[in-house]
Structure 1
Amino acid sequence: MSNKIVHGDGVDLAVQIRGAADGPTVLLLHGYPDTHTVWDGVVERLSDSFRVVTYDVRGAGASSRPKGRAAYRFPLLMNDLRAVVKEVSPDGPVHLVGHDWGSIQGWEAVTTMPELFASYTSISGPSLDHAGRWTRAHSGTLRGLRQMLHSWYIVFFHLPVLPILSWRTGVAPRLVAALERTKTPHFSGTVALDGAYGVNLYRANILPRMRHPQERVTDVPVQLVVPEDDAFVTPALAASALPFASRITRVSVKAGHWVPVTRPAEIADLVARHAASI
């Protein structure tokens, strides 16, 4: 295992490289309010055959924590991701895997800089542009209402002060544990800061894209992993991506939102099979 600092767009990114040095490179991108450790169980199972790369996104873990919502907009996130890919795999594309906000970033990446990726596995995080179109099409329907109820937290994260206090006081991690029906949340020891800074991901990106969804299509081979018991993303919303990828496979798993933690062997197997199929 090796750790390095990669310079992104005005930030330092903590990058971890593990596994087979001569294997295909798989890049695992975590969500909110996680760090790279959310992938530990998956990494362990992929390391025999793949060179596995993780990193803490800006605002999380050991990476820089810039202040203000403007520092978390998509163009900067994409510049960070591009810098990591170019550093760890300068001679060819990588297999990208994203969960939650890592998956949201992944959709932005494979639709705007597809040449960097050999394949993409998306877990519990739709493209905001796909979600914006889907929400408009299903407003007033039972599907739309169901997803709106699942998305209550997005409104909460746009409130002043309260979201940050909820992470710093430990209320938010306990609530997540209750929603996921686990005894204790899986978050890292930096979760109070990860949650407080990372909330800017929502504030910087959600409303602009939901109001004005852009055209987002890709020819990168996509595997769409849909947890059936996800407390935040309904299967119907997850499927909003299907018309926008020319090569896409949908796989349902009986699990909640944090399936990389609860079902790491299954996720590792799906990632390995998808990468091998390319």
Structure 2
Amino acid sequence: MKFAILIVGSSLFLLTLPVSAGTFLETFDKFDLKDWEEVTERNLPTGEWRVVNGVLHAESKDDAIRMLVIKDAAWHDYEVELDVMPLDRQGRGHIVLAARVNQTYAIVFAIGNIFWNAPSPIVSGFIFKLNTGRRVGIPLVLMKIQDLFNGRPQGEIVDEILRVGVVTDICTTILPHPFLERGKWTQLKLRIVDKSFMFSVNEKLVLYLTCLFDSFAFLEEDLNVDSVGFGLAGYTARFDNLKITGEEVPNRGGLSVQPQGKLAVTWGQLKKYGK
């Protein structure tokens, strides 16, 4: 089934951002948390967010997602880029980039293995209900997956998903993907065009997601616009160089002095983790 992402993905790069696009930049050199809101799965206690030598240090030591979300943002189509360096993984672990985030839902893109309790890591995209910590419409998703695999036994389906992945048309995609390398910067990129979501790692498209929101008749809120967030679960990590570009996005921030200056300091800090 992995062919689906390749066929669809090959035509997506023809899409371009509008000429009038604005750019929101956050380099964390002078980070102010008051411009952000922390959103936690199931309203659990907050995580740790602090600036260390011009990069954002974050910790979420259990399996719950903790995200920072831009306040007062309501954007539709845009592209978001973010650098992340995982330092330590506590348990299964997930690194998260999220779109259309509101008080109830988020469209989550994650690399790790929390949500499917898989024996190997995956990259996944789905609608996430924050107050319950559950994927939205899971019965419908499971029925769709059963149909795609012609009703094969559940054990065989899980094995196949971990081997080649599954792409549905109702806002759930799961594909095999290694954990992000610890002690190394990785660039994540998310491109959103209407109901299409493209998630890339180091400029390589790894996941394509289509969200046909009308398929979820029980979805209480419209997910066509809302904010942007990023975060983690079961990880200690550092984030840097958040860049969001889109027609509705306001111009804000300046380019970082990095990368080499910050990298040298950050590698020094890593010694205390024994990496």
Same fold (TM over 0.5): no
More helix by share: 1
More strand by share: 2
**Of the two structures, which has the highest relative contact order with CA contacts closer than 8 Å and spacing of 6 or more?**
2
TM normalised by structure 2 equals 0.26
Q: Which has the higher Rg, Structure 1 or Structure 2?
A: 2
TM normalised by structure 1 equals 0.26
